[in-house]
């Protein structure tokens, strides 16, 4: 999949570009416009925070970026490639090879060790057991969990569980991390720890991060802050005082 995208990529294009993207749920009088013509560009290596009130469209936009949902109209380009023209199987491979996902609820397998949880994306990619274990251990080390590899989620704190989830997201070396309220279930101390981990990956590995959050303190770690209101981009500004 990586070679397919790369062979068609426009090297002058932004990493991510949305052109006139709309999303309508329902029909007729019950129709609800979740997105109303979004234009958005995100370049490689950016750390972007997406904010807005409930129902503003920020999570819908994130789902479209992650190919978890499709726009009603408009175009989603990734490295110049029109994602809307990919088949269902191609979109699935695109998610596996290019994107990493971090969710508010951790989404770890409860009876599975930390290292086995991190190995899961590599199983879907067909990696050997030996390669999976090596990469998973490296990912856990990168998030500061050396020594916790054999522990199950019940034996880990909330912050440690989210670190496992981050390790699982980065084990495939994705181009983009999509983080949906990654600190929503954590206290302020654990939240800052997670944001430091994400900032380090962005700064040292050049991973592009798009993070949905309703917390200004967490958005302050991003280099750019986008506000959604009523399905539209209300403001898009650089963050001149990065935390």
CA-based nearest residue to 202, from 113, 100, 128:
100
Please determine, for residue 6, whether its predicted confidence score (pLDDT) is greater than 80.
no
pLDDT of residue 14: 86
pLDDT of residue 5: 59
Give the span between the Cα atoms of 75 and 231, in whole angstroms: 16
N-to-C CA span, the chain: 36
- Do residues 169 and 100 make contact, with C-beta atoms less than 8 angstroms apart? yes
- Do residues 202 and 44 make contact, with C-beta atoms less than 8 angstroms apart? no
Domain-embedded: residue 139: yes
Report the predicted TM-score, pTM, of the whole model to 2 decimal places.
Answer: 0.90
Domain-embedded: residue 144: yes
Domain encompassing residue 189: 44-67+92-238
Give the span between the Cα atoms of 172 and 126, in whole angstroms: 12
Number of domains comprising the chain: 1
Domain-embedded: residue 73: no
- Do residues 132 and 118 make contact, with C-beta atoms less than 8 angstroms apart? no
Average pLDDT, the chain: 92
Question: Is the C-alpha dihedral spanning 70, 81, 119, 186 positive or negative?
Answer: negative
Domain-embedded: residue 220: yes
Residue 10's pLDDT band (cuts 50, 70, 90): low
Neighbouring-strand partners of residue 76: 18
Domain-embedded: residue 160: yes
Domain containing residue 216: CATH number: 3.40.50.300
Give the span between the Cα atoms of 50 and 34, in whole angstroms: 15
105-155 pLDDT tens trace: 889 999 999 999 999 999 988 899 999 999 999 999 999 999 999 999 999
160-206 pLDDT tens trace: 999 999 999 999 999 999 999 999 999 999 999 999 999 999 999 99
Domain-embedded: residue 140: yes
Domain-embedded: residue 77: no
Question: What percent of the chain is predicted at pLDDT more than 90?
Answer: 86
Please determine, for residue 7, whether its predicted confidence score (pLDDT) is greater than 80.
no
Domain-embedded: residue 7: no
The DSSP secondary-structure symbol of 84 reads G
Give the span between the Cα atoms of 55 and 145, in whole angstroms: 36
């Amino acid at each position: 999949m990586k070679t397919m995208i790369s062979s068609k990529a426009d090297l002058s294009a932004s990493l991510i570009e949305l052109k006139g993207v709309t999303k309508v749920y329902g029909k007729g009088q019950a129709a609800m416009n979740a997105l109303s013509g979004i234009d958005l560009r995100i370049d490689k290596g950016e750390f972007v925070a997406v904010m807005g009130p409930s129902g503003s469209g920020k999570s819908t936009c994130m789902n479209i970026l992650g190919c978890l949902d499709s726009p009603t109209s408009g175009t989603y380009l990734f490295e110049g490639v029109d994602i809307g023209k990919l088949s269902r199987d191609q979109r699935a491979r695109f998610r596996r090879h290019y994107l990493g996902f971090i969710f508010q609820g951790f989404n770890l397998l409860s009876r599975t060790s930390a290292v086995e949880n991190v190995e899961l994306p590599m199983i879907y990619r067909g990696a050997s057991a030996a390669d999976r274990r090596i990469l998973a251990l490296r990912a856990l080390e990168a998030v500061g969990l050396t020594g916790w590899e054999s522990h199950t989620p019940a034996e880990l704190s909330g912050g440690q569980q989210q670190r496992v989830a981050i390790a699982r997201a980065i084990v495939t070396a994705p181009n983009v991390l999509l983080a949906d309220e990654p600190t929503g279930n954590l206290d302020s101390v654990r939240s800052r720890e997670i944001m430091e981990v994400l900032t380090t990956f962005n700064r040292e590995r050049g991973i592009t991060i798009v993070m949905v959050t309703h917390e200004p303190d967490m958005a302050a770690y991003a280099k750019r802050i986008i506000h959604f209101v009523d399905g539209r981009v209300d403001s898009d500004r650089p963050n001149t005082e990065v935390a």
